[in-house]
A and B are shown apart, each in its own frame.
Chain A
Amino acid sequence: GENVEQHPSTLSVQEGDSAVIKCTYSDSASNYFPWYKQELGKRPQLIIDIRSNVGEKKDQRIAVTLNKTAKHFSLHITETQPEDSAVYFCAASRVTNNDMRFGAGTRLTVKP
């Protein structure tokens, strides 16, 4: 089955700096790559996703890039704010398989 690895496990940045979280996946047939944000004690919520027919997607301060050849994708957060502090999860799945696999998560701390 699919295996998703996520790095780093913890990330601390100063407010206003950028943050980058990287994930690699093993199944070359995977074509859907979402990112979820989980605030402390809350449920995970989708913040952005990308499909394999595009290489980059942006939504305000958040962007995701995908390199299908290398089988990795990344989350970029610019101009970080304290409210960006949370655990972020990447995931991967494919159309023909309903088994979505998540990375282990990255705890992002934004220091004011």
Chain B
Amino acid sequence: NAGVTQTPKFQVLKTGQSMTLQCAQDMNHEYMSWYRQDPGMGLRLIHYSVGAGITDQGEVPNGYNVSRSTTEDFPLRLLSAAPSQTSVYFCASSRTGGNTEAFFGQGTRLTVV
């Protein structure tokens, strides 16, 4: 049972480049989410999904897109990377909504230069 798997673990981008962070879960969880973690700011919600075909914005959605075509996968796309998007990104899933235990992936450390 792998839980929540994120790839890649590390990534360096140049300003203006685009990329997709991958997230997959094998627990048949309905709810998936993306957070970014910055020093002194905790975990901030970027986007979330309550099921396949349904996504919604969180606290800091600008500059990011998501889609949920299957229950298992929830990729995060950076459209045009900016230095302000340098952060550690965590994908998480939970059985139902955001009011149940969240299981996190191992994180992606992204640096935009």
Q: Which residues of A are at the interface with B, using a C-beta cutoff of 8 A?
A: 1, 4, 6, 9, 31-32, 34, 36, 42-46, 49, 89, 91, 93-95, 97-105
Chain B contributes a number of interface residues (CB within 8 A of A) equal to 25
B75 at the binding interface (Cβ < 8 Å): no
Q: How far is the CB of B60 from chain A (nearest CB, A)?
A: 11
| Complex: chain B residue closest to A91, CB-CB | B43
B residues within 8 A CB of A6? 42
Does A93 lie within 8 Å of B99, measured CB to CB?
Answer: yes
9 smallest CB-CB distances across A and B, nearest first, come from A32-B99, A98-B98, A100-B98, A43-B104, A102-B43, A102-B42, A104-B42, A98-B97, A93-B98
> What are 30 inter-chain pairs, A to B, with CB distance below 8 A?
A1-B59, A4-B42, A32-B99, A34-B102, A43-B90, A43-B105, A43-B106, A46-B101, A89-B42, A89-B43, A91-B43, A93-B97, A93-B99, A94-B99, A95-B99, A97-B98, A98-B48, A98-B50, A98-B56, A100-B98, A100-B99, A100-B102, A101-B45, A102-B35, A102-B42, A102-B43, A103-B42, A104-B41, A105-B40, A105-B42
When A9-B40, A43-B106, A89-B42 are in contact, do A101 and B97 touch as well, CB less than 8 Å? no
**Please, how many angstroms separate the alpha-carbon atoms of A49 and B56 in the complex?**
25
Q: How far is the CB of A36 from chain B (nearest CB, A)?
A: 8
**Please, how many angstroms separate the alpha-carbon atoms of A55 and B2 in the complex?**
35
A residues within 8 A CB of B33? 98, 100
B44 at the binding interface (Cβ < 8 Å): yes
A residues within 8 A CB of B48? 98-99
> Of the candidates B59, B101, B106, which one forms a contact with A34 in the assembled complex, judged by CB atoms under 8 Å apart?
B101
Does B90 lie within 8 Å of A44, measured CB to CB?
Answer: yes
B residues within 8 A CB of A36? 102
**Please, how many angstroms separate the alpha-carbon atoms of A42 and B90 in the complex?**
11
B residues within 8 A CB of A103? 42
Q: Which of B9-50 contact A (CB under 8 A)?
A: 31, 33, 35, 40-45, 48, 50
